[in-house]
Amino acid sequence: MNTTNSEQPRDFIRDIINNDLQTNKYGGQVHTRFPPEPNGYLHIGHAKAICLNFGIAADYNGLCNLRFDDTNPIKEEQEYIDSIIDDIRWLGFDWENRLYYASDYFEQMYEYAVQLIKAGKAYVDELSADEIRDYRGTLTHPGRHSPYRNRSIEENLDLFGHMRAGEFPDGSRVLRAKIDMASRNLNMRDPVMYRILHSEHPRTGDKWCIYPMYDWAHGLEDSIEGITHSICTLEFEDHRPLYDWFLDELGIYHPHQIEFARLNLTYTVMSKRMLLELVQKGQVSGWDDPRMPTISGLRRRGYTPESIRNFSRRIGVAKTGSTIGIALLEHCLRQDLNKQAQRVMGVLRPLRVVIDNYPEDQVEELDAVNNPEYPGAGTRKVPFSRVLYIERDDFREDPPKNFFRLAPGREVRLRYAYFITCVDVSKDEQSGEVVELHCTYDPATRGGDSPYGRKVKATLHWVSAKYALEAEVRLYNQLFIKEDPTNVEDGADFKAYLNPNSLEILASCRVEPSLANATPGSRYQFERQGYFCVDPDSSAGKIVFNRTVPLRDTWAKIEKHEDK
C-alpha cells in the first residue's frame, strides 16, 4: 500500500470543489486562505487546517493566502504574528506575495457598514453588554427589539461617524445588523458588527477605535480577496447563514463557506486558551516546550515537517467529531526519521564495563554504518577501548526468561565491535548495586562478525569511556495522564491531569565522539533507543538532546506482559 504520497486525497471538501469546477461556479478557480488570529502560537490542529488549505490550492493549481484575522487588538500581538509566519514556512508552505491582514481592509469594511446603514439594515445601539444579552432571549425564547432599533438612517449614520471619531467610551455603543430578533438561530438576532475599543492595534496603532466582529469581518475579507472556498471548523456552521446574509445584503462577491471537524489528539489539549494557561502558569517552559502540541514545540522536540504533513494527509477530513490517537502521529514521525536520521550510539544510563583481556592502551577505530536504510550515507569511525559504557538496562544479574542481553557468563555482540562475555560483576557493598562488569572479548570477532558462524542473541550499543562525550538527555512523555484532559470531573480542572513525569532529565549520558560538532536542530537515531534532536540549550561543553520519540520496543512489551 502506498502510505506516503501520490494518491489524491478524497474527501467531502474536494468533492464539493470538483463539482464546482464541473459547473464552472467560480470560473474554474480555486482560491483558499488560512486565516489565523495572532493571539497565540499555532498548534498541530492548525497544521491540519494549513495542510488542508494550502494542499487543496496545490492540488487544483490554485492559490492559498495567509491572512491574519487581526480584529481584536486586546488579544493580539506582533510576537504571535512572527511565530505564525515562521511556523507555516517551516511546515513547507508558501503564500508568495499574498500575506494579508484583516486590518488592511478596515476602511473598506467601514464603507460597507455605511452601505448597510443606508439600506436600513444596521443601527447604532446604546444598550449595555448586559442588556444586549438580556434582550437576545434564550435558546428557546425569542429576543426583544432594542429601543434604539428604529432610529432614522441619518441618526445612525451620524452616530456611527461619532463612534469612529472616538467620541464615545468603550462599551457605550455598538453597530448592529438589523435582522431578526426572533430567529431560532441566535447568530441572526441582530448581531454586533462593531464595538468600541480604545486599544492600540499591532498594525494600525491608534488609527481605529472601533473594531469589526468576526462574523461581520470574515466574509468581507474572503470576498475582497476573491476566495472561492472558505474552509473553517464545525463550530462556525451556524454562523454560515450570517456569513451569507452580510454578503447578500451588500451584493458583493460571495465565497462558499465549508466546515470540517477540527483535530483532537489523545493525551493533549488543543485549545489556545489552555495552552496559554500552561505557559503563563509555568507548567511548561514556554510555547516551544517540546511537550507542547504547538508547531514550535514539535519542532524543538525534533518532529520533521514531512511527518506532520503526512499525518495531516492520513487523518483525512470529515465532519465527524473525532480524536486521533497520538500513536498515529508518532508512527508518521518514526516512518520519516527512520529514513532520514543518521545512526549513532549513545548510552543513557551508563554501566561501566572493563574488557579484561583487551590491551590497556589500545584504541581501535571501527567502522559503523550511518544509515542502513540509505547506504549512500556512508560510514564513520567509532573508537573502541578497554573500558566502555553500556546501557544499564542491557545487563541483568538474574535474567528473566526471554531476556537476550548480557548476564553473568553470557556472550553478546557489541555493535560493530566484538563479541564479549561477562565474567564478573562488581557491586557496591552497601547498596548491592552493580557498579562495574568485567568481560572478555574474542579477538576473532572484530567488526562484530563471528568467523565460525557462532550466533549471539543480542547486539548492544556502547561507547568508549575514554572517548565518549558527556551529554544531557531530556526524556519526554505525554503531557497528560488522561486520554481527554478536557473531560473533567466536576470541580476539577484540566491541569489536574498533568503528567508529573512528563519530563525526565538525564544529566550524565555518554555519546560517541562523532557527535562533537552536532548543531541544534539536527536529528539522530541513538541505536536501539530512539530518535533524538540537539536542543538549542546545548553549549560548547555539553550537548543537550531531546528525545523526539523512542523506537518501538518489543522487549518492553514482552516484559510488561510477563509482569501480569
Name which of residues 436 to 455 contact RNA (CB under 7 A): 447-449
**Smallest distance from the beta carbon of 188 to RNA, in angstroms?**
9
Size of the site for RNA (CB under 7 A): 93
**Smallest distance from the beta carbon of 285 to RNA, in angstroms?**
26
- Catalytically annotated residue among 25, 75, 203, 262: 262
The three cell numbers of residue 487 are 473531560
- 10 sits near RNA (criterion: CB under 7 A): yes
- The residue within the footprint of RNA, chosen from 98, 149, 254, 319 (CB under 7 A), is 319
- 167 sits near RNA (criterion: CB under 7 A): no
Residues 323-342 that bind RNA (CB under 7 A): 323-325, 327-328, 331, 334-335, 338
- The residue within the footprint of RNA, chosen from 146, 525, 546, 548 (CB under 7 A), is 525
The stretch among 106-114, 164-172, 247-255, 535-543 that binds RNA (CB under 7 A) is 164-172
For the stretch 531-540, contacts whose Cβ atoms lie closer than 8 Å and that sit 24 or more positions apart, written own/partner, are 531/302, 531/333, 531/334, 531/337, 531/341, 532/302, 532/346, 532/473, 533/300, 533/301, 533/302, 535/290, 535/300, 535/474, 536/300
- Catalytically annotated residue among 151, 272, 301, 343: 272
CA separation for the pair 546, 536 (Å, rounded): 10
Question: Looking at beta carbons only, is 228 or 257 nearer to RNA?
Answer: 257
Q: Which DSSP string corresponds to 76-132? A: --HHHHHHHHHHHHHHT---TT-EEEGGGGHHHHHHHHHHHHHTT-EEEE---HHHH
The stretch among 109-117, 133-141, 151-159, 421-429 that binds RNA (CB under 7 A) is 133-141
Question: Looking at beta carbons only, is 134 or 428 nearer to RNA?
Answer: 134
Residue located via cell numbers 461581520: 216
* 469 strand-pairing partners: 511
Residues sharing a CB contact under 8 Å with residue 49, sequence separation 6 or more, in sequence order? 34, 231, 233, 262
Print the binding letters for residues 20-59 with RNA: x by CB under 7 A, - otherwise.
---------------x-x----------------------
- The residue within the footprint of RNA, chosen from 490, 561, 563, 564 (CB under 7 A), is 561
272 is catalytic: yes
User: Sign of the CA dihedral 204, 207, 212, 218?
Assistant: negative
**Smallest distance from the beta carbon of 537 to RNA, in angstroms?**
26
Question: Looking at beta carbons only, is 107 or 428 nearer to RNA?
Answer: 107
111 is catalytic: no
- 315 sits near RNA (criterion: CB under 7 A): yes
The three cell numbers of residue 458 are 543480542
* 367 strand-pairing partners: 381
- 140 sits near RNA (criterion: CB under 7 A): yes
Instruction: Measure the CA angle with vertex 137, ends 132 and 142; round to 5°.
Output: 130
**Smallest distance from the beta carbon of 50 to RNA, in angstroms?**
15
Report helix angle 106-118 to 153-164, nearest 10: 160
CA dist list (Å): 382 to 345, 404, 464: 9, 24, 9
Residues 169-198 that bind RNA (CB under 7 A): 170-174, 184-187, 191-192, 195-197
- 415 sits near RNA (criterion: CB under 7 A): yes
Do residues 383 and 511 make contact, with C-beta atoms less than 8 angstroms apart? no
Burial of 551 per CB tally in 10 Å (0-12, 13-18, 19+): middle
Print the binding letters for residues 55-74 with RNA: x by CB under 7 A, - otherwise.
--------------x-xx--
Catalytic machinery residues: 37, 262, 272
